[in-house]
Amino acid sequence: MIDVRALRENPEPARASQRARGANPGLVDEIIEADAARREALQAFETLRATQKEVSKSVGRASKEERPAILARAKELAEQVKAAEAAANAADAEADRLARLLPNLVVDGVPVGGEEDFVVLRHEGPAPRDFAAEGFEPQDHLALGEGLDAIDTKRGAKVSGARFYYLKGIGARLELALMTMAMDQALANGFVPMMTPTLVTPQVMGGTGFLNEHSDEIYYLPADDLYLTGTSEVALAGYHADEILDLSDGPKRYMGWSTCYRREAGSAGKDTRGIIRVHQFNKAEMFSYCRPEDAAEEHQRFLAWEEEMLAKVELPYRVIDTAAGDLGTSAARKFDCEAWLPTQERYMEVTSTSNCTTFQARRLGIRERREDGMAPVATLNGTLATTRWIVAFLENHQRADGSVYVPDALRPYLGGLEVLSPVGR
């Protein structure tokens, strides 16, 4: 949630942010008007209530002749106060509803536009391989995974439906290897490892900003009034809800390891083969609570840690600055790392890191005590490894015989294996 007082004093940055996102700048004026109506209704209620208290106090001092009129006035005021309180509550609810519709304000430098308007900051890692020069046609990750007996989508669909799968044998070991390597890196950089809940309340899910435009992506259990999380960011953001943090020694950093669930609504026909876009996957997620003035620097650290992981896996990738219209509700800026996918000749997102400034903390009541009083903290998140990494790993490190090279950094996590060999060879 945005700071309504700051919005009132200077609404233009919010209007500019909405224009950059391709969203309605008029929402800013609606919020300001609703806030004015809220304050006016509250003032009217408080004025009537003060008058009611004075009249009630005067009953005991009134003469016998004056008392009936004063009692009648007190009764009339009680009804007016009740109506004014209801009006104030309704105005407050409407102002809050509108304020929660406004996405976070994008920071300076974020590209304007939609999904295709990102800016490529740089290319990193080894150069994409020229398979034609190597003398063979690359297989896609599913064909390689089936050859390794590592991925089984047919039985996944039989048991759970489309976009479910089994990782088995070396596939299961490979995912655990990537996730464990991510945890070791997080530990080395001061993160507290967390196995997080994957079911959260509407208050926590809404507080992180996922119940706006992304609500159709989320699995909801109406009998329990709980949501399945699509990232451990949600549970980690809720971990310190309604708390006062001590950040005097620097950011509080957590790494969440969890299974994630996404409905993938609206993605029919996109990446349906294999395990690129699935309903269930595992993810290692970094999360930080820090002071707002330190958030931009912390964001760069998160990106560097993501790139450190990608370097260990020896993947060719690019770093993009996501355009405003493609940011989630809570993000003020987002950098993605996209790995090269040889069989599709395109880049595919494998990590994402977002600076959410104070947006989530305001909604969740997470503050710190500072010299000038209480203030909301900033929150950031970033990916260290996911199931999807297996896709890029297999395709980029394949050999002509269907085997797959294992980078040096990953070998200790796979019992020293240097090559993954097809089953039966």
262 is an active site residue: yes
Counting every residue, how long is the chain?
425
pLDDT tens-digit series, residues 255-268: 999 999 999 876 66
217 is in an annotated binding site: no
Of 49, 277, 318, 411, which residue is the catalytic one? 277
**CATH class of the domain comprising 119-420:** alpha beta
Of 30, 46, 85, 349, which residue is the catalytic one? 349
Can you tell me the distance from the alpha carbon of 389 to that of 141, in angstroms, rounded to the nearest whole number? 11
Model confidence band, residue 60 (pLDDT cutoffs 50, 70, 90): confident
15 is an active site residue: no
Model confidence band, residue 425 (pLDDT cutoffs 50, 70, 90): low
349 is an active site residue: yes
Find the range with the poorest average confidence among 60-69, 176-185, 330-339.
60-69
391 is in an annotated binding site: no
Helix (H) / strand (E) containing 75: helix 67-101
Residue 254 β-bridge partners: 192, 287
5 is an active site residue: no
Q: Where are the alpha helices (DSSP H) in 135-285?
A: 141-147, 153-160, 170-188, 202-207, 233-238
Q: How far is CA 325 from CA 29, 370, 374, 378, 380, in A?
A: 20, 34, 32, 21, 19
The CATH homologous superfamily to which domain 4-101 belongs is Serine-tRNA synthetase, tRNA binding domain (1.10.287.40)
Identify the sign of the CA torsion 276, 280, 281, 286: positive
pLDDT tens-digit series, residues 184-234: 999 999 999 999 999 999 999 999 999 876 688 899 999 999 999 999 999
Can you tell me the distance from the alpha carbon of 367 to that of 355, in angstroms, rounded to the nearest whole number? 17
Burial class (CB in 10 A: 0-12, 13-18, 19+), 26: exposed
338 is in an annotated binding site: no
355 is in an annotated binding site: no
Question: Domain residue spans in the chain?
Answer: 4-101, 119-420
Of 258, 288, 330, 352, which residue is the catalytic one? 352
352 is an active site residue: yes
Of 163, 253, 262, 363, which residue is the catalytic one? 262
Asked if residue 1 has pLDDT above 70, the reply is no
371 is in an annotated binding site: no
Can you tell me the distance from the alpha carbon of 273 to that of 316, in angstroms, rounded to the nearest whole number? 22
